[in-house]
Structure 1
């Protein structure tokens, strides 16, 4: 079993209202040397929740989070080598349209499968 930490990524269309819709997850396991993210935006649900929300901007932000998890750089991404440091950058509080929720932990045999389980639990209706 591998210990891991995760955050749920939130779509926050109006930061001043602090309302959010869960749209993704990030899983980090130092034991398994694993850091990755996955996301899904249910467009109908998002439009009902926040008419006029910039979904293209949200998708671009979520793509950047996923790229950072995978160690990519450029395109406005910070150059951070270690997965733990990249996870720390991702979980830092920010006032943007895509925000991380609180950090949680658990144990898993397969962090990649854990991403799917967490998407089912927190993101998919």
Structure 2
């Protein structure tokens, strides 16, 4: 029998023009303390982004998304932080072009598989 364990996740959103409040989903962060797992999967649909803001800095957003993924893996200064601290730092409210939506909970046996499922469901 497969044992399901809790996880937390948040959708990564791009908000190209903060003043308009329009956004698109561009990724998912998933954290499972029991599995010692933190990862981000991202997918930037350039056409959808440009529909919100034709002048959006697509390359800058791609670089920022890579930085979120690197924070999850502990590259750079985030290597000094525990996984839970990294997750909480990433999901903290902010007023930038990338932000995390509300944190949700779920159950899974395999966090990486669940992360892929959520990206397909919520982002692609």
Q: Please indicate, yes or no, whether the TM-score normalized by the shorter chain is above 0.5.
A: yes
1:4-36 CA-to-partner distances (Å, cap 9, x unmatched) read 000000000011111100000000000100000
2:104 matches 1:101:
no
- For residue 29 of structure 2, the aligned residue among 26, 32, 35 is 26
Which structure 1 residue ranges, 4+ long, deviate > 6 Å from structure 2?
A: none
Q: Is the 8 A contact 2:31 2:87 kept in 1?
A: yes
Q: 1:49 deviation in Å?
A: 2.4
**Which structure 2 segments of 5+ residues have no match?**
none
Q: 1:78 deviation in Å?
A: 4.3
The structure-2 alpha-carbon separation of the partners of 1:16 and 1:106, relative to structure 1 and needing over 3 Å to count, comes to same
The structure-2 alpha-carbon separation of the partners of 1:23 and 1:122, relative to structure 1 and needing over 3 Å to count, comes to same
Q: 1:47 deviation in Å?
A: 1.4
- For residue 63 of structure 1, the aligned residue among 61, 66, 87 is 66
Give 1:19-98 correspondences, 5 Å limit: 19-73=22-76, 77-98=77-98
Q: Please, what TM-score do these two structures have when normalized by structure 1? A: 0.92
**Further displaced range: 44-53 or 55-64:** 44-53
Rounded Cα–Cα distance in structure 2 between residues aligned with 1:78 and 1:36: 13
Alignment RMSD: 1.1
**Which structure 1 segments of 5+ residues have no match?**
none
Identify the structure with the greater helix proportion.
2
Rounded Cα–Cα distance in structure 1 between residues aligned with 2:16 and 2:80: 28
